[in-house]
């Protein structure tokens, strides 16, 4: 049985990925951020048939010894551990360098020493900046418009450099704007849904004109699993996206319709990015993923987006889930 380590397994995408690995018969080890509460993040909330079916190791991706210990006897590492909130990267860029860049280096160094069979590192569509052409292919120029994006560019380049310099079997998977149940309210879709679910009909948001390619979380998780069995991904970047582009303004309308309410959007200046830092347009080109490992989104296009939003809204409307969020506060 293939043993797979997921770093950042306590987070949004990582918890879904760990759950999917277990369901598909992999021996999963989850690396979660150590804390004094002994919390495993979202892994504490997985379905009952998944609970207890994976190993958990607590540590800190910034600690080279801890991640190396977690990677022992592992065949494949799916590296998702990162700081991802763009507004907080304006506030604390040093922490993003330590986590996203040094943390990735720790994984790479350990993989090289241990002879790990494969590492897939998680990138982000934010590294492209505002689209210069669409769909955005893997050849699109990199243009980091936030400290967060800059650290992800650096991490990606470290990964690729290890393949060129040491023939370390590594790959970069670049998802576009993943959404779904368990996502942090620092992202726009949970921000909208949680405000509506809490009873508000005046929705506080930042810029409404940017467009995004929203990808449902199970499509993203499946992308990792399909990619990790494909040798052709080694030493290269592969995009994952839905093939559907929609503005934030239109996203509000789709969500409101799905939840059966009428809403008014109120501009909250605190949520507006600095002008030169706002990524105005993202729209994924995913031909490479289709060609290399036969990946296609199951929640693609507008119909898939509506279906994914309905499932996400239903999850947030569960009082037990909604209670975890502070919908009345801006979460950077």
Q: pLDDT tens digits for 182-193?
A: 999 989 999 999
Q: Which fold has domain 3-176+214-242+283-298?
A: Rossmann fold (3.40.50)
CA–CA distance, 57 with 280 (Å, rounded to integer): 39
Are the C-beta atoms of residues 118 and 77 closer than 8 Å to each other? yes
Dihedral of the alpha carbons of 57, 60, 62, 68, in degrees to the nearest 10: -20
CA–CA distance, 297 with 308 (Å, rounded to integer): 11
For residue 134, count CB atoms less than 10 angstroms from its CB and return exposed for 0-12, middle for 13-18, buried for 19 or more. middle
The DSSP letter of residue 52 is T
List the chain residues with pLDDT less than 70: none
Q: What residues contact 23, with CB distance under 8 A and at least 6 apart? A: 50
Chain Cα centroid distance, residue 273: 20
Domain chopping of the chain, boundaries: 3-176+214-242+283-298
Question: Would you state the pLDDT for residue 29?
Answer: 98
Q: What are the pLDDT digits (tens) for 217-241?
A: 999 999 999 999 999 999 999 999 9
HEC sequence for 288-303: HHHHHHCCCCCCCHHH
Nearest Cα neighbor of 167 from 225, 118, 102 is: 118
Could you count the other beta carbons within 10 Å of the beta carbon of residue 276?
A: 9
Question: Would you state the pLDDT for residue 332?
Answer: 82
What radius of gyration, in Å, describes the C-alpha atoms of the chain?
19
């Amino acid at each position: 049985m293939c043993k797979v380590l997921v770093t950042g397994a306590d987070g949004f995408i990582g918890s879904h990925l760990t759950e999917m690995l277990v369901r598909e018969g992999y021996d999963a080890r989850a690396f979660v951020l150590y804390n004094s509460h002994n919390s495993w993040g979202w892994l504490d909330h997985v379905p009952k048939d998944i609970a207890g079916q994976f190993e958990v190791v607590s540590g800190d991706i910034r600690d080279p010894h801890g991640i190396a210990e977690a990677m022992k006897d592992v065949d494949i590492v799916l590296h998702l551990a990162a700081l991802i909130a763009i507004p907080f990267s304006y506030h604390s860029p040093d922490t993003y360098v330590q986590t996203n860049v040094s943390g990735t280096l720790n994984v790479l160094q350990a993989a090289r020493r241990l002879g790990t069979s494969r590492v897939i590192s998680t990138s982000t569509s934010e590294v492209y900046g505002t689209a210069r052409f669409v769909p955005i292919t893997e050849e699109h120029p990199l243009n980091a418009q936030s400290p967060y994006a800059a650290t992800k560019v650096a991490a990606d380049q470290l990964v690729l450099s290890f393949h060129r310099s040491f023939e370390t079997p590594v790959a970069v998977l670049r998802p576009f704007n993943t959404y779904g149940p368990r996502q942090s309210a620092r992202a726009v879709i949970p921000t909208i849904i949680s405000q509506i679910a809490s009873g508000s009909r005046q929705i506080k948001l930042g810029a409404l004109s940017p467009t995004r390619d929203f990808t449902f979380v199970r499509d993203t998780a499946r992308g990792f699993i399909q990619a990790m069995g494909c040798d052709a991904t080694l030493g290269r970047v592969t995009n994952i996206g839905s093939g559907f582009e929609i503005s934030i303004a239109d996203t509000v309308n789709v969500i409101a319709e799905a939840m059966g309410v009428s809403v008014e959007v109120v501009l909250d200046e605190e949520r507006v990015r600095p002008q030169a830092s706002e990524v105005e347009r993202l729209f994924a080109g995913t031909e490479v993923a289709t060609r290399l490992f036969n990946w296609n989104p199951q929640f693609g296009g507008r119909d898939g987006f509506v279906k994914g939003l309905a499932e996400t809204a239903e999850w947030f409307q569960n009082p037990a889930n909604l209670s975890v969020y502070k919908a009345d506060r801006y979460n950077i």
